[in-house]
């Protein structure tokens, strides 16, 4: 830790580790809030259609599952795009670090690790 180059690199990677925990939490929180706002308005505007479906015998569970499936589809597409975009940007960032710090090699890999 006394060597300046090691300390600089150590602090840089520590900062990256912190950012990998904070940024996804913020983005997921904002996405959940926006999805809640959109679906609250959607259900509010389709109140008449929901009433007609319930009059024809559909249960509350059936209607809730319909809206739940839409939310699930949006979340799955968003997650797939987020992982693909994150992997692409991670590859670019590791190439930038390799060039800036002059590492002989720096391999990027996507790992699924729960904190």
* pLDDT tens track for 84-114: 999 999 899 988 988 888 888 888 888 877 6
The band of 47, judged by pLDDT with boundaries at 50, 70 and 90, is very high
Tell me the pTM. Answer: 0.76
Asked whether the beta carbons of 43 and 50 are under 8 A apart, the reply is yes
Rounded alpha-carbon distances, angstroms, from residue 35 to 25, 72, 78, 108: 15, 11, 12, 32
Predicted confidence at residue 112, as pLDDT, reads: 76
Domain borders along the chain are: 27-101
């Amino acid at each position: 830790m006394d060597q300046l180059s090691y300390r600089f690199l150590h602090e840089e990677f520590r900062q990256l580790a912190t950012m990998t925990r904070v940024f996804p939490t913020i983005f997921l929180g904002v996405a959940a809030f926006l999805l809640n706002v959109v679906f609250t308005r959607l259900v509010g505007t389709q109140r008449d259609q929901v009433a007609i479906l319930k009059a024809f015998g559909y249960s509350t569970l059936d209607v809730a599952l319909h809206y739940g499936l839409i939310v699930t589809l949006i979340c799955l597409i968003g997650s797939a795009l987020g992982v693909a975009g994150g992997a692409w940007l991670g590859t670019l960032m590791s190439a930038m670090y390799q060039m800036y710090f002059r590492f002989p090699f720096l391999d990027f890999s996507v790992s699924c690790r729960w904190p």
